[in-house]
Amino acid sequence: MSKVANCPKCGGKSKIKETNGEISYQAIQDDEILKKVSQLKKAMEKFKEKAEALEKEVNELKNKS
């Protein structure tokens, strides 16, 4: 994922890129933001599913003991 920070000139959200010690800022458009939010939601959903599966497995192991 890209690094995101506030632009020091305009204060808007920007992708930052460091090349040869020089930092460049590129403004993030609304459609890019929506895409990133969608990616994060999908990643969180996968994490949630894995956590629930592990929790279920732990409970099953506890019940067997």
Question: In tens digits, what is the pLDDT along the chain, a chain of 65 residues?
Answer: 568 888 888 888 888 888 888 888 888 777 878 888 889 999 999 999 999 999 999 999 999 87
pLDDT of res. 1: 57
First vs last C-alpha separation in the chain: 43
Burial profile 15-29: b = 16 or more Cβ within 10 angstroms, e = fewer: beeeeeeeeebeebe
Domain regions of the chain by residue span: 3-64
Structure tokens belonging to residue 39: 């990616």
pLDDT of res. 2: 67
pLDDT of res. 7: 83
